[in-house]
Structure 1
């Protein structure tokens, strides 16, 4: 059977630093397959600044938990051998393992170097606030624990465009490295926020340097062949020269095939930003749908005053659904994180129903929403609700879609099924009081009785001779109605 695709992001920011995630994932692979997960987004597997590094403070892309570097052999999630075993367990279950790839920067260099810089205005990176002067930075990466295994390439200051710490004067700031042919990427190649958003953090990799490009392309071949991953999630791409990103992905797809699954994080809540980027890179990969997440966040905060007819407006899902990787929450939007915009718990079942049961987009389930989060703002998770919605996506969300986005508080849609999955479903949700909506399920369902698979409403809806039914929903809730005869012993 050709089931709908579904991605799971298998980590959240506040996981325990116990080195056990890869083992847990290997043991969980069969369960994830049963849920209908087809793609599994794993956290960055590279050696970072220590075992407590979530993975985005990358030190060595060749160290997957194999060498004694940065005070540890394992990463936060385990060892290289455990990582490979988790990937194999996923593939044994028919799930594509997706690697989180961080190319923008390097952290915690091994030795200091001296070089000229301009100190830049942090709010306008095109505006210097000093003359050229010399500083010292931790820009020499020698990887002494690895001792040249896999690659003998070492990094120097001239492989970077900027850093954020002057060790000579013990001063933080944004320092643009001044050397022949170096500096920020062109404005046309990176996001123009803060004048030029090439610089994000740590030692910013300069992809105008031919040696850097050559080494990165060499590394990606090693990585794919060493791990046998089948896709990438690309981190922080709005800060990386888009010409290089296009070259990088074309190189990967030419060598490993168009089925190699790639999506990127271009964090811009304005569709024009994401849409323009996709056009510039010739639509060769997908992007996370930041605009849709932002709509979910605002709707969850506004409650009944939010106009649900506009919930998809300005989103990739609405404008370019084939390139949209939809999500409700992720590690960056969690409480306490840099892009904090956590969707209120009451609205998450509605939001997940949208990304999982509408016909368009590539939906992502967040680990913290499924298994819960343990931090200063604990969350028990929505495993019960998500099990039901994933079941519905796997077996019912097929065929023609009819939308009823015709009321400010109550919206719905139906899926009429196809030859392989004929049963279909009817979805209705509201951010206000209890409501109901007449929707069409097709004449083939005439006389059939429909029940709410999620168990949020105990009514029974009978489809009339025209194929229509009057479907109810409780206040601030979502109900998904399917043919009672199609309900098997599994209950959400």
Structure 2
């Protein structure tokens, strides 16, 4: 997330009344059996998350005005046909900045654009019905839908006397949905816990050690997690700013409601990322890979790709990416970076603007096809120097591949050892017209065009 792009923060007093935690009922009114079973029925035939490629289906400051869910709805069929298996949505519930918010300043976890609070009824992205309709369309096209979960902090509470600080804090949350009222006791510091791993920007920091907070976030039948899953229809979770709370929170959420889970642990240290994934029992975005690709493709030194990354430590827990809504530093040679993550291990995520606006969609679709059909098995690096990088996937229920990335200004050729003996191979990108035959010892000469790549496999 990038909170510094917010349009401002103004705390709004929403209600003249208060409600004690003891007065809250366990099941929201108007929650019917049909509402719960409908999303479950529509999940039949979904592609397993991780079997294809993830689409980050937004960017920072998507158009306001409540149109974004409809934009996504219009694209999911094409994305599914291209080989996408899941879409990651921005935080979908009402936030402090209402119609202008990207959702990372959460106020009411149960308002998806149906209550007139925080300056609007709809969210920046649209209405609750438009969200559910879009999720239904995604499910009908075999796509899972990943929710962006922001539970480190809240925003938009009214001022109240705080016995734990001796002054007033913005910790009085009275959402119009009538669910998950919060007060000073639910934030740090309080009667049971002074702090956790980290607060952000001075915003009220939720205390996950409070049983009341745990109940409302994931444990109770009407918890945030179960409402997102059973009523709205989400299939997986992207946890925002997981440095701010302990990994057991993600683990308990996932164990309670299931679903693919990935954390935004923004750190380039591979050991730290690997520790977090093991402790949380969830995936993490491979920031180690991201920064090494930045060194390789922005710094013009492909030897950086030899360094350690999360996908090399634990590919099943690594979500690789070239850019996201927070950062877009790999600008030069960006298609080469996509050629890297879409031919290597890990679960690759592609960015909406890269796919829809900035890069060649035919090239992206070709790389997605290569990932889904050829990029199986373990990885062996065959050659790396400043300008050239060659690696092979050893195959798993497919023939595997050899990827040749060339960051120089001229065509390059190199002899490499493949997995194929006396076999005709071809470049599945179409960048090279060669169709060489491998020798009996598996060796073959390959080529790659300048500032480009080739991907070779059995013809």
TM over 0.5: yes
* Residue 112 in structure 1 maps to residue 112 in structure 2: no
Matched with 2:268 is 269
Matched with 1:173 is none
Alignment of 1:1-16 (within 5 A): 4-16=51-63
Pick closer, same or farther for the CA change 1:333–1:312 going to 2, 3 Å.
farther
Pick closer, same or farther for the CA change 1:239–1:403 going to 2, 3 Å.
same
* Residue 398 in structure 1 maps to residue 445 in structure 2: no
Deviation at 1:366, TM superposition (A): 0.9
Deviation at 1:160, TM superposition (A): 1.0
Pick closer, same or farther for the CA change 1:201–1:369 going to 2, 3 Å.
farther
* Residue 314 in structure 1 maps to residue 317 in structure 2: no
Matched with 2:352 is 367
Deviation at 1:482, TM superposition (A): 4.7
Alignment of 1:338-377 (within 5 A): 342-344=329-331, 346-358=332-344, 360-372=345-357
Matched with 2:214 is 213
For the 8 Å contact 2:322–2:338, the answer to whether it is kept is yes
**Secondary structure, counterpart of 2:249 in structure 1:** helix
* Residue 428 in structure 1 maps to residue 404 in structure 2: yes
| Matches of 1:62 and 1:224, distance apart in 2 | 12
Matched with 2:454 is 479
Matched with 2:239 is 234
* Residue 414 in structure 1 maps to residue 392 in structure 2: yes
Matched with 1:293 is 290
Deviation at 1:272, TM superposition (A): 2.1
For the 8 Å contact 2:112–2:127, the answer to whether it is kept is yes
| Matches of 2:235 and 2:74, distance apart in 1 | 20
Q: 1:460 aligns with which of 434, 453, 458?
A: 434
Matched with 1:94 is 142
Deviation at 1:454, TM superposition (A): 3.2
Alignment of 1:122-137 (within 5 A): 134-137=166-169
Deviation at 1:332, TM superposition (A): 1.1
**Secondary structure, counterpart of 1:310 in structure 2:** helix
Superposed CA RMSD: 2.4
| Matches of 1:246 and 1:401, distance apart in 2 | 29
Q: How many residues align?
A: 405
Deviation at 1:47, TM superposition (A): 0.6
| Matches of 1:232 and 1:39, distance apart in 2 | 11
| Matches of 2:387 and 2:52, distance apart in 1 | 29
For the 8 Å contact 2:335–2:359, the answer to whether it is kept is no
Q: Deviations over 1:221-272 (max 9, x none)?
A: 122111121111111111013333322222223xxxxxx2111111111112
For the 8 Å contact 2:293–2:304, the answer to whether it is kept is no
Deviation at 1:398, TM superposition (A): 3.2
Pick closer, same or farther for the CA change 1:155–1:234 going to 2, 3 Å.
same
| Matches of 1:404 and 1:461, distance apart in 2 | 20
**Structure 2, unaligned stretches of length 5 or more?**
1-46
TM-score (norm. length: structure 1): 0.77
**Secondary structure, counterpart of 1:462 in structure 2:** coil
**Secondary structure, counterpart of 1:51 in structure 2:** helix
For the 8 Å contact 1:184–1:199, the answer to whether it is kept is no
TM-score (norm. length: structure 2): 0.82
